[in-house]
Structure 1
Amino acid sequence: MAKVLYNLSIYLYQWVIGLVSPFNKKAKNWIDGRQNIFEHIESALHKAQSEQPTPLAVAWFHCASLGEFEQGRPVIEAFKKEYPNFKIFLTFFSPSGYEVRKNYAEADFIFYLPSDTPANANRFVQLVNPKIAFFVKYEFWYNYLHTLHQKGIPAVSFSAIFRPNQIFFKSYGQFNRDILHFFSHIFVQNTLSESLLRSIGVTQISIGGDTRFDRVKQIADAKKDIPIAEKFKAGQKILIIGSCWHQDFTVLYPFINRFGHDLKVIIAPHEIHRDEIAKWQQQLQHSSVLYSEALNGKDPSQAQVLIIDNIGMLSSLYQYAEFAWIGGAYGKGLHNTLEAATFGLPIFFGNKVYTKFQEALDLIAIEGAMAIDNTNDFEKYFMPLFQQDKLREDKSKRIIAFVEQNLGSTQQVINYIKTLGINPPTQSPQSL
């Protein structure tokens, strides 16, 4: 009965998405991206096969969205380096992942994942015929995993994290527990996840940490110089507000207005809305400059606030700052704290939606981050760090050590794959 209800829920979800798609861009992308998808997949595979003499060897990576892709990326790239004869088949569930990364150069095929119906799962696995499949963090699709399991195709979950309140650990969660047994191996982020899984009889597990640490280290090592940010800094300390939402700015702008001219501030909005940015500028009592204005010749060093009105440079901007506020925790959820942590920045964020992010809890535990309730709360914790360089530097060293201690998750996954004896076929397609 649970399986029947699960499949009905998948069909119902498709129906609801289709119903709202004329009025919702994300839903429309979700529907449009899956139109004739099997024909598109078959065509892409056929073209790739026609260009090589041996059968395709495919490794399938599935990510729900953009955040999971960033966790999966270091494993994708390490796998490609270790197994250069494999083709990478990358799927996304959400438009927010697919639409941003549909041109990712390290994947040979990039598609939306067809809905997890029994027919779709069977057709997809038969068509793609992966030698191995990877699911990042939270992806537990019954029909896909069941089909892989039946066909003897290894399925690996990595950077997974589990909590006691999840359905797997409820008395009525047997169907969901069954899904976990379809994995060949599950790499979990922490000891709590390991203990929870062992308590329900899931034993093909090990603690593998979070591959995002490897990813943010890659990003930090590849950081780009941003001359405008360098000129804006002009030898002063910088607070960077990364992935800022209006709720974050509402807490921070009274503090910025009170502070005076000893601190410079970079604001990088999560989304670029010109009207909202204009309103923020009106609320600021200090001079501000848009990044686009600085590109066109306006001197950024004369402003106290630099507003980044583009997407894509935040990870490199952290190198110019001494402090970071990471947005989202007053709303849908905290954004990426690890990119700032890689540079050793003391981190602040809202105190509403952050507890499901293990890295945030870990940073708080080492006193590298602080969850903030309101403007006065922020000032209370920020000012000692601003005024006492030794205090800030000690905290920075602690944060960098935390990041370095958590590197290496990607290699653990690769080491496990080597034990499976995964190799591409050597015969020509015609001779098979």
Structure 2
Amino acid sequence: MQFIYNISINIIILALQPFRLFSKKLNIFFKDRVSSLDSIEEKIKPNDKSIWFHVASLGEFEQIKTIVETLKSENDNLKILISFFSPSGFKSSLNYNIVERVYLPLDTKKNAKNFINKINPNVAVFVKNDIWTNYLIELKKKEIPVYSISSKFYKSQFYFQSYGKWFLNKLKQIDYFFVQDKTSKELLNLNHINNVSITGDTRIDRVKEISKQEKKFDSIEKFINNDICFIAGSSWEADNDIFLNSILDSNNIKTIIAPHNVIASDIENLEKKTQSLSVRYSRIDQDLDSNKKILIIDSIGSLKHLYKFADIAYIGGGMGDSGLHNILEAAVFAIPVIIGKNYIGFAEAEKLVKLGGVKSVNSKLEFDDIFNNLISNKTYRIKMGEINKKYIYSNSGGSKTIIKALTKSLN
């Protein structure tokens, strides 16, 4: 089966080559991986004490920051390499100076062998579920401890289907799993993988840290001016359509919209829909006046810090099929959260909807009803917010267990 897998990967790579002539994105995808492999030797020497984390994208990168920063603070000489599959995660790490970063070369036998030989990590960590078989094989050949952290498994995954048994057997090469929930642990145990602990979602530890950071936003405080503040974070057009009428009709409420896409056309479209009532964050000092009640965040990186100003938050992604965005970043600030209709499969959303700290809406009418209730009833807002904060604080601390295990393996 390994032979068939390797042949398949190589056929896919070869089949994609002609399309590089017509797709700049695809061409960059391949070029970045070649240059990453070439640059590794400059970043980490084979004799360095090092740990390698592999993440798929930005979300997984955020999940490991608490772990990475603690490991580095405990041993400044430790080299930390993070490999990425997608550009969004890689680009967001460019100013994260305590680590080295590369794109993960595609999972061919040759690439995996070259990569592992060049970095020669003391410990390897796959974050969540982005696990590649040739890399696992090379790590086990060199007897390098391998961990899976913040992983999440469910019955419908290919690992647990009749056609996925080979991949399931590859999972058994991982030395230890730190999973997010009981279901994941039970599934692994059922399939004779018993080296498992439940440590929850490490994003929870990260948002707790962020909530304690002191960051000043004087212009935003001036914009809010002690009014009730509604923040729509990571919203898509389908999300905007749900809440825009309500906020346009509301008085004495300030709204901050941080769209998921900050490309010029999307920002301009949002400005048209909000008429003359909005101002861009990049222009707030020049264009802010008493008529502006909507602030459009036209840059990335600040949203997770802005939720501290919110009395109510809406988190985007749930009205379409793009996937619900991070509700934990808002929940940690003890505020009520509203989301769209598509949230099944996001454990924290399912739990907080059940507990009552998060409300899911299917339509403009449903949003309007919940929004007006929250605006008019401060006690209701506080009650929902406290449910969210309690969830965060009662489910935190998993990173400490993971750090302890990684440190032991490094030593």
Q: What is the TM-score normalised by the length of structure 1? A: 0.90
Q: For 1:16 and 1:362, how far apart are their aligned partners in 2?
A: 43
Please list, as runs of the form range in 1=range in 2, the aligned pairs for 1:309-388 lying within 5 A after superposition: 309-329=298-318, 330-352=320-342, 354-388=343-377
C-alpha RMSD over aligned residues: 1.9
C-alpha spacing 1:356/1:21, structure 2 compared with 1 (3 Å): farther
C-alpha spacing 1:373/1:103, structure 2 compared with 1 (3 Å): same
Where structure 2 has 5 or more consecutive residues not aligned to the other structure, the ranges are none
Q: Deviations over 1:178-228 (max 9, x none)?
A: 121111100000101111111111111100111111111121211412112
C-alpha spacing 1:261/1:419, structure 2 compared with 1 (3 Å): same
The counterpart of 2:266, out of the listed 276, 283, 298, is 276
Q: For 1:111 and 1:25, how far apart are their aligned partners in 2?
A: 20
Q: For 1:126 and 1:385, how far apart are their aligned partners in 2?
A: 57
Q: For 1:17 and 1:371, how far apart are their aligned partners in 2?
A: 41
The counterpart of 1:184, out of the listed 168, 175, 178, is 175
Q: What corresponds to 1:165 in structure 2?
A: 156
* 1:185/1:205 contact within 8 Å kept: yes
The counterpart of 1:402, out of the listed 380, 383, 391, is 391
Q: What corresponds to 1:240 in structure 2?
A: 231
Q: For 1:407 and 1:301, how far apart are their aligned partners in 2?
A: 41
2:22 is the counterpart of 1:30: no
Number of matched residues?
Answer: 410
Please list, as runs of the form range in 1=range in 2, the aligned pairs for 1:151-300 lying within 5 A after superposition: 151-257=142-248, 259-284=249-274, 287-296=277-286, 298-300=287-289
Q: What corresponds to 2:77 in structure 1?
A: 85
Q: What corresponds to 1:430 in structure 2?
A: none
Q: What corresponds to 2:127 in structure 1?
A: 136
CA deviation after TM superposition for structure 1 residue 17, in Å: 4.8
* 1:78/1:410 contact within 8 Å kept: no
C-alpha spacing 1:194/1:273, structure 2 compared with 1 (3 Å): same
* 1:326/1:334 contact within 8 Å kept: yes
CA deviation after TM superposition for structure 1 residue 45, in Å: 3.3
Q: What letter matches 1:262 in structure 2?
A: N
Q: What letter matches 1:252 in structure 2?
A: F
Q: For 1:299 and 1:112, how far apart are their aligned partners in 2?
A: 41
Q: What is the TM-score normalised by the length of structure 2? A: 0.94
Where structure 1 has 5 or more consecutive residues not aligned to the other structure, the ranges are 50-54, 424-432
Q: For 1:290 and 1:300, how far apart are their aligned partners in 2?
A: 12
CA deviation after TM superposition for structure 1 residue 44, in Å: 3.2
Misfit runs of 4+, over 3 Å: 15-26, 43-46
CA deviation after TM superposition for structure 1 residue 56, in Å: 1.1
* 1:60/1:89 contact within 8 Å kept: yes
CA deviation after TM superposition for structure 1 residue 42, in Å: 2.2
Q: Secondary structure at the match of 2:174?
A: coil
Q: What letter matches 2:141 in structure 1?
A: Q
Q: For 2:214 and 2:296, how far apart are their aligned partners in 1?
A: 19
* 2:34/2:105 contact within 8 Å kept: no
CA deviation after TM superposition for structure 1 residue 419, in Å: 4.0
Q: For 2:120 and 2:78, how far apart are their aligned partners in 1?
A: 12
Q: For 1:16 and 1:300, how far apart are their aligned partners in 2?
A: 56
Q: Secondary structure at the match of 1:146?
A: helix
* 1:114/1:120 contact within 8 Å kept: yes
